[in-house]
Structure 1
Amino acid sequence: MTGPAAREIETLLREAFAPTRLDVINDTAKHHGHAGDDGSGESHFTVVIESEAFTGKSRLERQRMVNRALGDIPGQRVHALAVRATAPGEGQ
Structure 2
Amino acid sequence: MNEIPTGPVAHEIDARLRAALHPERLAVIDDSAKHRGHSGHDPRGESHFTVEIVAEAFAGASRVQRHRLVNQALGELLAERVHALAIKAAAPGE
- TM-score of the two chains, using structure 2 as the length reference: 0.92
Structure 1 partner of 2:37: 33
Query: What percentage of residue pairs aligned between the two structures are identical?
Result: 60
Higher helix proportion: 2
Corresponding position: 1:54 with 2:58: yes
Query: Once the 2 structures are TM-superposed, how far is the Cα of residue 76 of structure 1 from its aligned partner?
Result: 2.8
Runs of 4 or more consecutive aligned structure 1 residues displaced over 6 Å after TM superposition: none
Query: Once the 2 structures are TM-superposed, how far is the Cα of residue 74 of structure 1 from its aligned partner?
Result: 1.7
Structure 1 partner of 2:20: 16
- TM-score of the two chains, using structure 1 as the length reference: 0.94
Deviations 1:42-87 (A, max 9, x none): 0000000000000000000000010000011223311000100000
Structure 2 partner of 1:78: 82
RMSD: 1.0
Corresponding position: 1:67 with 2:67: no
Gaps of 5+ in 1: none
Gaps of 5+ in 2: none
Aligned residues: 90
